[in-house]
Amino acid sequence: MKHAKHAVVVDSPAQRGPRHDWSATQVLDLFELPFIELLDRARAIHRETFPVGDMQISTLLSIKTGACPEDCAYCPQSVHFDTGLNPERLAPLEEVLSAARAAQAHGATRFCMGAAYRSPRPAQLKAIAEMVREVKALGLETCATLGMLTGEQARTLKDAGLDYYNHNLDTSERYYAEIITTRSYADRLDTLAQVRGAGLKVCCGGIVGMGETRADRAELLRTLANLDTHPESVPINHLVRVPGTPLADAPALDPLEFVRTVAVARILMPGSRIRLSAGRTDMSDETQALAFLAGANSIFYGDRLLTTPNPEADRDMQLLARLGIEPARAEVTQPA
């Protein structure tokens, strides 16, 4: 058989439950399948675990912007790079609440608060816990991304009503060291364990298009899939190339390779929400449609990500309508 060397066993998740034992070769073999074959496999799994045509939408707000001590080479908010960004202190509660109300009115079901911290200090965490409590009281799902957390901080957020914590692995362990020097992959994994231990849902993914190899993309997804429990939410960001950052001139990733990454994420983590995250402003409608076909079933919605633009909300609604995709009004519970 022509593609016999690609005979990766992808069992039905309904039959055997999710796997956590992927080998590097198995994941790379998936990436190397003929494109249509890869999409067929991802699509079959997607249809088994999610209703057809649903889409979860999250809206982001930067609650503390810039002046971050970390040196993540992709990030406009690092103090190490001159990106012309105006740093802003922690936003007042009322400002956060009015953004959350607006997001809800536009159909978002989850509100994600992002802060440019290495890790939050006690007073900051207290103020953010209050924001979480009030946003949750509006009837929204809550998500926060605040950098590294201790177990106690994670429990404080959980008690305040936090549903999800976003903390990305960003790339493979090998490539990570070329992107960030101020913290380690192990630090990242430790925070994920604290977050899971506190009973929070995990939102964890990465960024592609940073000059990494396909093997790095495969390794990132393998690390995520081999965690004890799959992250409930897996953001796949395409690098937003921000002038002033070391990755401003990173070569563009082939859009079909981006779609392959989404498809492999869907196959490896059948019950997770795969989020087509940053980078959509530079993506064609057709690439986005292929990413949805490959298994992406969540987007960030609203004109802004944290500090960079996102497609206009109206344009997104038109795209979803053209594709016959219904934004989900309530979260569907899936096996982890």
Residues that bind ligand SAM in the complex, under the rule CB under 6 A: 68, 74-75, 77, 114, 116-117, 145, 147, 167-168, 170, 207, 237, 239-240, 242, 278, 306
78 binds, among ligand SAM, ligand DTB, ligand SF4, none (CB under 5 to 8 A by kind): ligand SF4
Residue 237 contacts ligand DTB per CB under 6 A: yes
Binders in 128-147 for ligand DTB, by CB under 6 A = 145
Point out the catalytic residue in the list 19, 41, 110, 112.
Answer: 112
Q: Is 118 noted as a catalytic residue in this protein? A: no
- Shortest spacing between CB 62 and ligand DTB, in angstroms: 7
Nearest Cα to Cα of residue 235 among 218, 219, 249, 221: 221
170 binds, among ligand DTB, ligand SAM, ligand SF4, none (CB under 5 to 8 A by kind): ligand SAM
Residue 68 contacts ligand SF4 per CB under 6 A: yes
Position among 38, 63, 240, 274 found at the interface with ligand DTB (CB under 6 A): 240
Map residues 179-208 to x or -, x wherever contact with ligand DTB holds by CB under 6 A: --------------------------x---
287 binds, among ligand SAM, ligand DTB, ligand SF4, none (CB under 5 to 8 A by kind): none
- Shortest spacing between CB 91 and ligand SAM, in angstroms: 14
Residue 171 contacts ligand DTB per CB under 6 A: no
273 binds, among ligand SAM, ligand DTB, ligand SF4, none (CB under 5 to 8 A by kind): none
The gap from C-alpha 211 to its chain's centroid, in whole angstroms, comes to 19
Could you tell me if 257 and 221 are in contact, meaning their C-beta atoms sit under 8 angstroms apart? no
Looking at the Cβ atoms of 162 and 179, the one nearer to ligand SF4 is 179
β-sheet bridge partners, residue 238? 208
- Rounded Cα–Cα distance for residues 180 and 199 (Å): 28
Point out the catalytic residue in the list 75, 196, 204, 280.
Answer: 75
Residues labelled catalytic: 68, 72, 75, 112, 143, 203, 275
Residues forming contacts to ligand SF4 in the complex (CB under 6 A) are 68, 70, 72, 75, 77-78, 116, 147
